[in-house]
A and B are shown apart, each in its own frame.
Chain A
Amino acid sequence: MLQKKNLLWLAALAIALFVPSIITNPAYRQIAVITLIFTACATSWNMFSGYSGYVALGSAAFYGTGAYTMGLLAVHWHVPASGDMFWLVPVGGLAAMLVAIPVGLIALRVRRHTFVVITIAIFFVFQLAAINFGFTGGTGGLTLPYVPWLIQDYHIPFYYVALAILVFAIALSAAVRRSRFGLQLLAIRDDEDRALGLGVKVFPVKLTGFAMSAFTIGMCGALYAMMQGQIYPQFVFDPIFDISIALMAFFGGFGTLLGPILGGLILESSQQYLTVSYSNGSLYLILFGVLFLLVVLFMPQGIVVYVKEWWTKRQDRMAAASEAALAPGINS
């Protein structure tokens, strides 16, 4: 069984490796890269929020920190506009992690419900700072060195780096889930007081998880900044980002390993496609909102759990049916 599961993961990875050869239109390749970036963010968001139950709605603060780290360092360190800039991606992740520690020290002191609101507030501090501080370039944004690759194949290197980040995020999330540390996070989600009573050092555990998830999200922000070549505070510190990755995790299955991956791949690609195809932003907001409502109300546990339950029920039904078919034979 485990063997079969690993094979499926490998097959998925193999398909992912060939995507840039299948999709040749640069616009669609860009959609593919952004989809991978968001899926990685959703996966690592879920690694903290999904496992611990502490829903963070300010992760764009880390995404933006990663993006600005990439932008500012590339400009000030005079990094040549080439593949060398990719080395700044993990640096962006580290910066986000460093920022996440003081944020976590404040935000994780409070109860779960208040935590949600504080992360939102802290996110707005970051957005305002990026708009108002001089060194960020304000609302005019920041222009990065533009890597002179051919437009046709511009997105291919970004695609593979994004894929590497996603694989890293999934591996980390899987490793955490199997580890003692992951069990501690899950114990906090189930009953924090009891976990504390049983000797889990809840505060350091929460802080570590929070900082780890910020690392991957920061790397994603840095990669995004490098690909776009231009960043604006309102786009890298975007409140919709927070809610989108949370929705992806809930859509797929909050707290499961596979959930945010499926949620990210399905939602972000369709969202990007809709944005490219429909210019009417208002209609798109309504459609997105309605989809959102349907998911949360009718599949509150996400598609992974929903499909699993449906499958188990089907198996049970089939087992019952075959038993019924066998029954007369046994009697006669």
Chain B
Amino acid sequence: MNSSALIHAVIDGVLTGSVYALMATGLTLIFGVMDIINVAQGIFVILGAYLSYALSVHWGIDPFVGLVITIPTLFLVGIVVERAFIGRLKGPEKTAMSILVTYAISLVIEGSLNMIFSVNDVQISASYVTKTFRIFGVYFAYIYVYGFILAAVLLTALYLMLYRTRFGASIRASLADQTAAALVGIDVKRVSTICFGIGIAVTAAGGMVFGATNAFNASTSYDLISRLLVIIVLGGMGSLGGALLAGILMVTLEDIVGVVWSPVWSIIAFYIVLVIVLSLRPQGLFGKQSARIA
């Protein structure tokens, strides 16, 4: 191991981590507002990746330009899924049921993607995916920087929407307390539907960058969803800032362990950190300490 490899791991981790943070933000937003654990988030990322892939292969549309199509498409998919399935869930076992429903949705999408695209790995290609530049004596592909900028822009937009608009205020109110939000006249049902749409829409961007930096097929979604779940638990479920920080921290840590020790164990480090943090802070890094256990 040398220091340049370490610097590489850190920079790489921060750049990639921001993309994970974006995807995890969608997941934690959905949980915070709706009490829904969306285990289909992983397959939606892959769906986003395949959409960008198909656009670039069949119509020659650049993956970044293609986002103009894929982000609204996945937003609509999210709205439809929420209206058709998720919104119908109620009762004390709502959260547990939501895992089953979203898992079922992810099975259907996985099967369909396998049929359409086959199970062979693909990767999104563009000139900047392979083109590199030098920094601190190490080479980076441009895609990592572009991905980072994209994630930063979208996260900023999301932040501005949440903290500077009236609709954002109603989302934050629903995050804090659904009943109280409904009492002051917020249409919580509408807020939920749109939040689910936003939560899925960000996967289009995340999936595009993921698909350009990794070879993927539909079953890659299992690995993705387990990481995303760990990130949001670590950050504190429902905490947007927590998801952002935990996303960057965890991916950076994973890269460092991969360099210092072995890539085989890097993913385990991910889970071990989770276990340690939760033994000390069961509510996660930024989670609200709730008086009620349930």
Contacts and interface: CB of A to CB of B under 8 A. Distances in A.
A122 B279 CA distance: 13
B115 A282 contact: yes
Given A193-B294, A293-B105, A285 B111 contact: yes
A193 B294 CA distance: 8
Interface stretch (B58-66, B165-173, B262-270): B262-270
Nearest to B262: A132
Given A109-B282, A111-B290, A289 B105 contact: yes
Contacts, number: 144
B164 interface: no
A111 B100 contact: no
Interface residues of A, number: 46
A128 B229 contact: no
B96 to A, nearest CB: 4
Interface string B100-141: 110111111011101100000000000000000000000000
A124 B230 CA distance: 11
A129 B108 CA distance: 30
Contacts of A121: 226, 229-230, 233, 271, 274-275
A239 B95 CA distance: 19
Contact of A116 (B37, B271, B283, B291): B37
A161 interface: no
A292 B107 contact: yes
B229 A120 contact: yes
Interface in B5-59: 31, 35, 37
A229 B203 CA distance: 42
B226 A55 contact: no
A246 B100 contact: yes
A106 B280 CA distance: 10
A286 B111 contact: yes
B163 interface: no
B97 A120 contact: no
Interface in A187-214: 191-193, 196, 202
A239 B278 contact: no
A281 to B, nearest CB: 7
B207 interface: no
B279 A296 contact: no
A185 B222 CA distance: 32
A320 B249 CA distance: 66
Nearest to B110: A285
A235 to B, nearest CB: 14
Contacts of A286: 107-108, 111-112, 115
B290 A122 contact: no
Interface string A264-290: 000000000000000001111110111
Contact of B272 (A112, A125, A281, A297): A125
Interface stretch (B85-93, B154-162, B178-186, B192-200): B85-93
A113 B237 contact: yes
B284 interface: yes
23 contacts: A53-B93, A53-B294, A55-B96, A57-B99, A110-B283, A111-B293, A114-B237, A118-B274, A120-B229, A121-B226, A121-B274, A125-B275, A128-B271, A132-B268, A193-B291, A281-B114, A282-B110, A282-B115, A286-B107, A292-B107, A293-B108, A297-B101, A300-B97
Closest 8 CB pairs of A and B: A285-B111, A289-B107, A292-B104, A286-B111, A289-B108, A282-B114, A55-B96, A110-B282
Given A193-B291, A283-B115, 14 more contacts: A53-B96, A110-B283, A114-B284, A121-B226, A121-B230, A121-B233, A124-B267, A128-B268, A128-B271, A247-B100, A293-B85, A296-B101, A296-B104, A300-B91
